């Protein structure tokens, strides 16, 4: 039994000695497996993902030291030192012209600081200050296109005084003058009426030129029109537009309603409201059906 025990112990010692020698050989490598993740300086400002020389040097190098010192030590350029280090211009840094916020250039026309410079066609523009019957003063404009027998009057009105913004076309290209009134601030149709004005007189020495750049303290006359009629059907509108193309340019798809002097039409069976706009020479109050904006309601939809 004693002999067997001695042999067994000898075998164990031999196995232990071999294993120890193998372990010593393995530990001599130090931190050879550590790869340096440091990044060298890139060639360009945006090449921050290139790896520098640290990675090549860290692979396979054996750390110096004996068996006792080799434990836990890593060679130069190993993972402990290389990880997280980046050369100049590495990942996260951007060269010139990267995605950083750009600088704003000078504001162009039509930006938030002002209204765009809208170019009018060739023609004459007349502007003056017009006193309303309520005492307020508004700016009134009239534009006369070149080589056309038409003029367009416009005003922003004064809602506090009961005047809506509006534009009015005076078309003298036909046998008699036609006026198209279009209130703004909603989808209104064109309200068509006639006029006793004469284009040659308006363009003469006693016409528009006497109002331009002045303070007109004399209020315009007042006129009341009934705008409760139904819109003209499509074929009648097309015929009107063919006879006077300027009406088509001005009214477009809004539709046309023939306005009549107040009292000339039977009473409208429905709810109405008044809309007052400023034309070239009148303060016009239109009686229109409630809800005419957007739905095109008129006298034809409320007949008794």
Please check whether residues 174 and 64 belong to one and the same domain: no
135, 52: one domain: no
Q: What is the pLDDT of residues 160-180, one digit of tens each?
A: 999 999 999 999 998 889 999
Residue appearing with tokens 């059906």: 289
Q: Which of 29, 62, 82 is the last residue of a domain?
A: 82
Q: Mean of the pLDDT values across residues 247-252?
A: 94
Q: What is the pTM of this model?
A: 0.59
- Residue 83 in this model has a pLDDT that exceeds 90: no
pLDDT digit string, tens, across residues 189-201: 999 999 999 999 9
The verdict on residue 110 lying in a domain is no
Q: Which domain holds residue 55?
A: 2-39+47-82
Structure tokens that stand for 176 in this block: 């008699």
**Does 81 have pLDDT greater than 70?**
no
Query: Distance (Å, rounded) from C-alpha 79 to C-alpha 55?
Result: 9
pLDDT band at 36 (very low <50, low <70, confident <90, very high): very low
In a domain, 200, yes or no: yes
The per-residue pLDDT for 54 is: 36
In a domain, 211, yes or no: yes
Contact 168, 279 (CB under 8 A): yes
Where do we find the tokens 């036609």?
178
> What's the chain's average pLDDT?
73
Report how far residue 131's alpha carbon sits from residue 158's, in angstroms, rounded to the nearest whole number. Answer: 11
Q: Which pLDDT band holds residue 187 (cuts at 50, 70, 90)?
A: confident
Please indicate, yes or no, whether residues 27 and 162 belong to a single structural domain of this protein. no
Shared domain for 60 and 154, answered yes or no, is no
**Looking at the structure, do residues 71 and 188 belong to the same domain, yes or no?**
no
How many structural domains comprise the chain? 2
Instruction: State whether 144 and 14 are in the same domain.
Output: no
Q: Is the pLDDT of residue 72 over 60?
A: no
127 with 78, same domain?
no
Q: Which of 56, 82, 108 is the last residue of a domain?
A: 82
6 occurs within a structural domain: yes
CB 206 within 8 A of CB 198: no
Q: Comparing 138 with 62, which gets the higher pLDDT?
A: 138
For residue 187, the Cα-to-chain-centroid distance in whole angstroms is 22
Q: Which residue has the higher pLDDT, 116 or 293?
A: 293
């Amino acid at each position: 039994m004693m002999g067997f025990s001695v042999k067994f112990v000898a075998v164990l010692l031999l196995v232990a000695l071999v294993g120890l020698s193998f372990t010593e050989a393995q530990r001599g490598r130090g931190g050879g497996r550590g790869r340096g993740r440091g990044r060298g300086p890139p060639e360009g400002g945006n090449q921050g993902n290139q790896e520098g020389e640290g990675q090549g040097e860290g692979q396979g190098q054996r750390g110096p030291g004996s068996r006792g010192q080799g434990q836990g030590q890593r060679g130069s350029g190993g993972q402990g030192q290389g990880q997280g280090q980046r050369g100049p211009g590495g990942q996260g840094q951007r060269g010139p012209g990267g995605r950083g916020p750009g600088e704003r250039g000078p504001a162009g026309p039509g930006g938030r600081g002002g209204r765009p410079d809208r170019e009018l066609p060739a023609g004459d523009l007349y502007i003056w200050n017009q006193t309303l019957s309520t005492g307020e003063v508004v700016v009134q404009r009239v534009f006369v296109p070149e080589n056309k027998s038409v003029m367009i009057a416009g005003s922003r009105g004064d809602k506090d005084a009961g005047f809506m913004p509006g534009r009015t076309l005076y078309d003298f290209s036909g046998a008699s003058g036609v006026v198209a009134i279009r209130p703004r601030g909603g989808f209104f149709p064109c309200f068509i009426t006639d006029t006793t004005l004469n284009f040659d007189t308006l363009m003469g020495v006693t016409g528009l030129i006497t109002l331009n750049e002045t303070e007109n303290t004399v209020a315009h006359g007042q006129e009341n029109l009934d705008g409760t009629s139904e819109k003209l059907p499509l074929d009648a509108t097309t015929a009107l537009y063919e006879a006077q193309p300027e009406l088509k340019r001005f009214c477009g798809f809004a539709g046309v309603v023939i306005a009549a002097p107040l009292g000339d039409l039977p009473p409208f069976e429905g709810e109405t409201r008044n809309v007052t706009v400023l034309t070239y020479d009148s303060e016009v109050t239109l009686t229109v059906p409630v809800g005419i904006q957007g739905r095109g309601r008129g006298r034809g939809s409320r007949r008794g």
